[in-house]
């Protein structure tokens, strides 16, 4: 009981000092700490404790890649591919191609032609992950039915497309957000088909949604002529004002060929507009179309809505053009950002949104602090009142326990949330449990007539197995909460879990050392509890 290696005492003291050093930066403003940390080598753990969005304020948006829109665009691409193949193979498309929710049906009545078509169309089915990747999954299932050849997208193909769409979306969103100048924005993948966007300090998500919520698919299409066949024309809503406009379904040039877009002002009217520039291919296409269609209105379509439809006055061959549309400066600027960053590969839907204003965040921090202080003081007083000098030891251990929780959070970069603070307050009550177990056992042993030293020794030894058992059960609960919980609740699991680990170190090891030192100093004749 009395002996412990000096290195143990030294390492406990070192631990405490290290913990204090880790925490000190968190008492200073975060920007100052970051500025200083930037000048030090990377391995120096000079960090501010990470506050969750619920404490520092900010916006959290979880967005999901719209599976239906991914499938729809895949089916459309498939239809075009099939048409191309059939033309190459010179197979007459008597019955046409019917699009279905998950594939297309090529109607062919002649059985021999049908068989030939199947072999031909089989070539459209690619191995998943490109020809180089292993595995035997394919993108298409090609079967013959009585009506013709059926091509169905496989589940694996759709999953693969969604995976790609998520990756691409993150790239596009990053470009957009960087252009907006909000540098702290975090964009990351969640699960298979989701993107999480977190912006500290942002209160009103309306503007953010204007930038990240749009697909930004830009198309140039000719406005329909009365002579156009009806199945090649569609009616699209106007983006501003009311009414619709009939435009051709065929897309002449699209935004994929854009290399730059900038907000500018019309030289005559002074109205805000957007100047764009195509790459070589896009510029040639654009030049060709405008040359052939001088005098016709050319519709500029964004995400299925017509921005404007100016008349082509002369061929535009320089590869640059201007989009006008009664914009405000902000709108023109946003459009320029969207066009520069490129279109999202699929529609993203916001499925969860949480924003906390700085006022509520600060209130939560203050309330959490108050609860922690008052709870801590109550426990400290109660422990001293019950156990006297042993209570003081327990309280010192409790202080170090809290210190260690914060220090390990800084070290691990774990996020402190409001439920996390609740977890810490709870562990304030819980951490002394190990001390209580030990002290009560010591009392019992003393009452059974053991000497002071032997009672102390037996108390620690016998209580230890119980402490381990009871803490393991609590730790399992915390671990599972971490694995299954989401968002702020994870913060609770983190502080609870860390608290359990540190409480074993402080309440058992540290208390034992303090009691041993105390015993050597005072040589008591009886247990003071």
Report 185-214 residues binding other proteins (CB under 8 A): 203-206, 209
The smaller minimum CB distance to other proteins, of residues 120 and 500, is found at: 500
The smaller minimum CB distance to other proteins, of residues 195 and 422, is found at: 422
Pick from 65, 108, 117, 428 the residue near other proteins by CB under 8 A. 428
The smaller minimum CB distance to other proteins, of residues 1 and 93, is found at: 1
468 is a site residue for other proteins (CB under 8 A)? yes
492 is a site residue for other proteins (CB under 8 A)? yes
Total of residues contacting other proteins (CB under 8 A): 96
9 is a site residue for other proteins (CB under 8 A)? no
The span from the CA of 312 to the CA of 289, in Å, is 10
360 is a site residue for other proteins (CB under 8 A)? yes
The smaller minimum CB distance to other proteins, of residues 178 and 362, is found at: 362
Pick from 385, 520, 523, 525 the residue near other proteins by CB under 8 A. 385
What per-residue string of b and e applies to 470-501 under the rule 16 or more CB within 10 Å gives b? ebeebbeebeebbeebebbbbbbbbbbbbbbb
| Sequence-ordered alpha helix ranges (H) in 328-451 | 329-341, 358-387, 389-412, 418-447
Report 28-57 residues binding other proteins (CB under 8 A): 54
Pick from 30, 384, 501, 517 the residue near other proteins by CB under 8 A. 384
Q: Minimal distance in Å, beta carbon 128 to other proteins?
A: 26
Task: Name the β-bridge partners of 190.
Answer: 194
Report 494-513 residues binding other proteins (CB under 8 A): 496, 508-509, 512
Local structure of 399: helix, strand or coil: helix
Report 387-426 residues binding other proteins (CB under 8 A): 387-389, 391-392, 418-419, 421-422, 425-426
Between the CA of residue 259 and those of 213, 241, 279, 280, 341, what are the distances in Å? 21, 29, 6, 10, 9
Residues 6+ apart with CB under 8 A from 170: 187, 188, 189, 195
Applying CB under 8 A, the span of 90-98, 181-189, 249-257, 382-390 interacting with other proteins comes to: 382-390
Strand ranges for 66-193 from DSSP E: 97-100, 103-107, 140-144, 148-153, 186-190
Q: Minimal distance in Å, beta carbon 468 to other proteins?
A: 8
The smaller minimum CB distance to other proteins, of residues 232 and 363, is found at: 363
The answer to whether residues 135 and 127 touch, using CB atoms and an 8 Å cutoff, is yes
126 is a site residue for other proteins (CB under 8 A)? no
Query: Closest Cα to residue 161, out of 185, 126, 187?
Result: 126
Pick from 195, 383, 416, 452 the residue near other proteins by CB under 8 A. 383
Between the CA of residue 327 and those of 264, 265, 330, what are the distances in Å? 11, 10, 8
Residue 344 token pair: 């999202």
Applying CB under 8 A, the span of 38-46, 218-226, 254-262, 375-383 interacting with other proteins comes to: 375-383
Q: Minimal distance in Å, beta carbon 188 to other proteins?
A: 17
The span from the CA of 88 to the CA of 106, in Å, is 15
Between the CA of residue 441 and those of 168, 427, 511, 514, what are the distances in Å? 62, 21, 14, 17
The span from the CA of 287 to the CA of 521, in Å, is 95
The smaller minimum CB distance to other proteins, of residues 200 and 342, is found at: 200
455 is a site residue for other proteins (CB under 8 A)? no
The span from the CA of 200 to the CA of 356, in Å, is 9
Q: Minimal distance in Å, beta carbon 357 to other proteins?
A: 5
Pick from 9, 179, 236, 436 the residue near other proteins by CB under 8 A. 436
485 is a site residue for other proteins (CB under 8 A)? yes
Q: Minimal distance in Å, beta carbon 235 to other proteins?
A: 22
> At CA 190, angle to CA 184 and CA 196, rounded to 5?
35
Report 53-92 residues binding other proteins (CB under 8 A): 54, 62, 64
Report 310-349 residues binding other proteins (CB under 8 A): 349
Q: Classify strands 415-416 and 50-51 as parallel, antiparallel or unpaired.
A: parallel
The answer to whether residues 93 and 86 touch, using CB atoms and an 8 Å cutoff, is yes
């Amino acid at each position: 009981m009395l002996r412990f290696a000096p290195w143990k005492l030294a390492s406990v003291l070192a631990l405490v000092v290290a913990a204090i050093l880790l925490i000190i930066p968190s008492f200073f403003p975060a920007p100052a700490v970051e500025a200083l940390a930037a000048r030090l080598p990377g391995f120096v753990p000079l960090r501010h404790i990470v506050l969750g969005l619920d404490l520092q304020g900010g916006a959290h948006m979880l967005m999901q890649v719209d599976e239906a829109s991914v499938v729809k665009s895949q089916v459309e691409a498939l239809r075009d591919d099939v048409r191309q193949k059939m033309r190459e193979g010179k197979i007459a498309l008597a019955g046409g191609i019917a699009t279905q929710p998950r594939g297309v049906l090529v109607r062919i009545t002649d059985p021999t032609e049908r068989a030939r078509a199947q072999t031909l169309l089989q070539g459209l089915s690619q191995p998943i992950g490109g020809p180089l990747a292993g595995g035997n999954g394919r993108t298409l299932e090609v079967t013959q039915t009585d009506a013709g050849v059926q091509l169905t997208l496989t589940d694996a193909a759709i999953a693969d497309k969604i995976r790609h769409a998520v990756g691409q979306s993150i790239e596009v969103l990053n470009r957009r957000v960087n252009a907006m100048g909000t540098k702290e924005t975090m964009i990351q993948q969640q699960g298979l088909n989701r993107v999480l966007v977190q912006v500290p300090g942002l209160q009103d998500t309306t503007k953010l949604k204007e930038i990240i919520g749009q697909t930004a698919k830009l198309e140039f299409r000719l406005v329909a002529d009365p002579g156009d066949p009806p199945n090649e024309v569609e009616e699209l809503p106007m983006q501003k004002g009311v009414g619709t406009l009939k435009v051709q379904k065929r897309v002449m040039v699209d935004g994929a060929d854009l290399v730059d877009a900038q907000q500018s002002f019309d030289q005559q009217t002074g109205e805000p507009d957007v100047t764009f520039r195509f790459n070589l291919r896009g510029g040639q296409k654009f030049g060709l179309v405008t040359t052939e269609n001088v005098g016709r209105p050319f519709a500029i379509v964004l995400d299925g809505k017509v921005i404007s439809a100016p008349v082509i006055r002369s061929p535009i061959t320089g590869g640059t053009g201007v989009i006008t549309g009664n914009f405000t400066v902000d709108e023109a600027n946003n459009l320029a950002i969207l066009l520069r960053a490129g279109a999202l590969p699929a529609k993203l839907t916001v499925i969860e949104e949480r924003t906390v204003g700085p006022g509520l965040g600060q209130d939560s921090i203050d309330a959490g602090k108050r609860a922690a202080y008052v709870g801590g003081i109550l426990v400290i007083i109660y422990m001293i009142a019950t156990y006297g000098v042993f209570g003081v030891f327990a309280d010192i251990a409790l202080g170090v326990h809290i210190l260690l929780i914060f220090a390990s959070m800084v070290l691990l970069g774990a996020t402190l949330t409001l439920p996390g603070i609740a977890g810490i307050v709870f562990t304030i009550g819980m951490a002394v449990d190990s001390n209580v177990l030990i002290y009560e056992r010591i009392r019992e042993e003393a009452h059974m007539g053991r000497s002071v030293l032997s009672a102390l020794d037996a108390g620690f030894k016998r209580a230890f197995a119980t402490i381990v058992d009871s803490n393991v059960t609590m730790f399992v609960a915390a671990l599972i909460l971490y694995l299954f919980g989401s968002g702020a609740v994870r913060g609770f699991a983190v502080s609870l879990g860390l608290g359990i680990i540190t409480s074993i170190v402080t309440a058992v090891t540290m208390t034992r050392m303090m009691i041993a030192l105390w015993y050597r100093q005072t040589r008591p004749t009886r247990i003071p509890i």
